Chains A and B, each alone.
Chain A
Amino acid sequence: GENVEQHPSTLSVQEGDSAVIKCTYSDSASNYFPWYKQELGKRPQLIIDIRSNVGEKKDQRIAVTLNKTAKHFSLHITETQPEDSAVYFCAASINTGNQFYFGTGTSLTVIP
């Protein structure tokens, strides 16, 4: 089955700096990679996703890159703000409708 690894587990950055979270996956058949943001006690919220036919996708301050050959993908948050503080999860899936295999999560703290 799929195995998704995520690093780092915790990350602290100064407000305005960039944050990068990296994930690797094992199943070459995976072709859909969403990123979720989860605040304490709340449901995960999709913030960005990428499919295997695309190498990079950007949405304002958030971007995701995918390297299919190396089987890794990364989340980039620029100009971080305190409200970006949360736990971020990457996931991998075969197509959008199958079960997601989640990474272990990264607790991001943005220091004002």
Chain B
Amino acid sequence: GAVVSQHPSWVICKSGTSVKIECRSLDFQATTMFWYRQFPKQSLMLMATSNEGSKATYEQGVEKDKFLINHASLTLSTLTVTSAHPEDSSFYICSVRDWSVGQYFGPGTRLTVT
């Protein structure tokens, strides 16, 4: 299966600053990556679908100007949380898809906004 990494694994930032999270597909060229958010003791909620070379598709209720997604290559997608606030504190997980076997998740990034 695909090997997916995320960086950083955890980050603490101050309110009002921006944070960039990287998702890398290490052994697989991913035309599509997904970004999920997971609050404590809750399920994974799809935020957006990241398509290589084109604009991301955001789920209803997700602010595209706040959560900037860039999928510039087949192995890298980035999620930037702009002007972060404490309510943005969450576990962010990316995944890459393979049409034949499904999705592979990254290890996640825990964001804490103080």
Contact = CB atoms under 8 A, between A and B. Distances in A.
Partners in one complex: yes
A41 B38 CA distance: 10
Contacts of B91: 41
B9 to A, nearest CB: 10
A42 B44 contact: no
B89 to A, nearest CB: 14
Contacts of A98: 97
In terms of DSSP, what is the predominant structure of the interface of chain B?
Answer: strand
A41 B44 contact: no
B107 A97 contact: no
Nearest to B46: A99
Given A102-B44, A104-B42, A96 B93 contact: no
Contacts of B98: 96-97
Contact of A34 (B32, B42, B100, B102): B102
A43 B100 CA distance: 21
Given A32-B102, A34-B102, A104 B43 contact: yes
A43 B44 contact: no
Nearest to B44: A102
Interface in A76-112: 89, 93, 95-105, 107
A102 B103 CA distance: 13
Nearest to A100: B103
Interface of B: 32, 34, 41-46, 49, 91, 93, 97-103, 105-108, 110
B60 to A, nearest CB: 9
B42 A100 contact: no
A52 B102 CA distance: 14
A102 B43 contact: yes
Which 6 residue pairs of A and B lie closest in terms of their CB atoms, listed nearest first? A97-B99, A96-B102, A43-B105, A97-B97, A102-B43, A102-B44
Nearest to B57: A99
A93 B44 CA distance: 14
Contacts of A45: 105
